[in-house]
Amino acid sequence: AQSVTQPDIHITVSEGASLELRCNYSYGATPYLFWYVQSPGQGLQLLLKYFSGDTLVQGIKGFEAEFKRSQSSFNLRKPSVHWSDAAEYFCAAYRRGSYIPTFGRGTSLIVHP
Amino acid sequence: DSGVTQTPKHLITATGQRVTLRCSPRSGDLSVYWYQQSLDQGLQFLIQYYNGEERAKGNILERFSAQQFPDLHSELNLSSLELGDSALYFCASSATSGGQETQYFGPGTRLLVL
């Protein structure tokens, strides 16, 4: 079955530190991949997406993600975290030709001052 | 602001009741998706409409139904409500129906069933 796994339920970092949020997928072929962020009481905002081509994808708010086919991963990174980055982060994927995305369970990011 | 609007923002109702959630997609988007987000199930895809027609179905209960109108807004109807239906309901829209599309999410409707 197709699945998206975010191994870390919570991650705590200090403001200014670097961040990496993990995402692994299990699909027969490389799916389309996305990262979304959800602030408390808000909807999901698209951070970045990967369809094909360059495996390092730049997004909004200083985020980037790297697609690694060999590891079936699409990890999200940020070199220096700001307190306003504290939120829930979701990785999502869908099979090419499908209309139905699968979301990971989310990673809650806590930022210490 | 994604351009997707949802009403109401909050809804409190009793078990056994019926409610209607409304979604207006971004201007020009033909596809509307509905999702349910709960603590125990995470974010679950319910149903998709494309230009007025049902395109894909996910884990949607028979008590739930949806439709997309000619002006492309969509409604999600939840009936015979149970305590377990309490959740955040999101609508998302996209320009196409498959392929390299990106979904843009509304702010959600928080439903509380008492």
Provide the mean pLDDT of chain A.
Answer: 93
Q: Which residues of B touch A100 (CB under 8 A)?
A: 45, 48, 56, 58
Residue B28 in 3-state DSSP? coil
Q: Give me the residues paired with residue A24 across strands.
A: A5, A73
Q: Give the pLDDT of residue B57.
A: 92
Written as six digits, the tokens of A111 are 């930022």
Q: Give the pLDDT of residue B17.
A: 97
Q: Are strands A3-5 and A24-26 parallel, antiparallel or unpaired?
A: antiparallel
Q: Please, are residues A57 and A50 in contact by the beta-carbon 8 Å criterion? A: yes
Q: Give the pLDDT of residue B71.
A: 95
Is the CB of B90 less than 8 angstroms away from the CB of A44? yes
Q: Please, are residues A63 and A48 in contact by the beta-carbon 8 Å criterion? A: yes
- Closest-CA residue in chain A for B43? A103
Q: Which amino acid is at B25?
A: P
Q: How far is CA B111 from the centre of its chain?
A: 12
Scan residues 81-100 of A and list those with Cβ closer than 8 Å to B.
90, 96-100
Higher pLDDT, A113 or A23: A23
Residue A91 clears pLDDT 90, i.e. is over it: yes
**The Cα angle at residue B103 between residues A102 and A51, in degrees rounded to 5:** 70
- Confidence tier at B30 by pLDDT (50, 70, 90): very high
What b/e string do you get for B26-65 counting C-beta neighbours within 10 Å, with b at 16 or more?
A: beebbbbbbbbbeeeebbbbbbbbbeeeebbebebeeebe
Q: Please, are residues A50 and A70 in contact by the beta-carbon 8 Å criterion? A: no
**The Cα angle at residue B72 between residues B91 and B5, in degrees rounded to 5:** 40
Q: Tokens 């369970």 label which residue?
A: A105
Under DSSP, the state recorded for B25 is P
> How far apart (Å, rounded) are the C-alpha atoms in residues A97 and A31?
9
**Cis geometry, peptide bond prior to residue B8 (ω within 30 degrees of 0):** yes
In this structure, chain B runs to a length of 114
Provide the mean pLDDT of chain B.
Answer: 93
- Closest-CA residue in chain A for B59? A100
Which of B105, B109, B112 to mutate against chain A (most A CBs within 10 Å)?
B105
Is the CB of A100 less than 8 angstroms away from the CB of B45? yes
- Confidence tier at B97 by pLDDT (50, 70, 90): low
Q: Give the pLDDT of residue A55.
A: 93
- Confidence tier at B90 by pLDDT (50, 70, 90): very high
B113: CB partners within 8 A, 6+ apart: B13, B14, B15, B17, B81, B82, B83, B84, B85, B86
Q: Which of A51, A99, A106 sits opposite B98 (nearest CB)?
A: A99
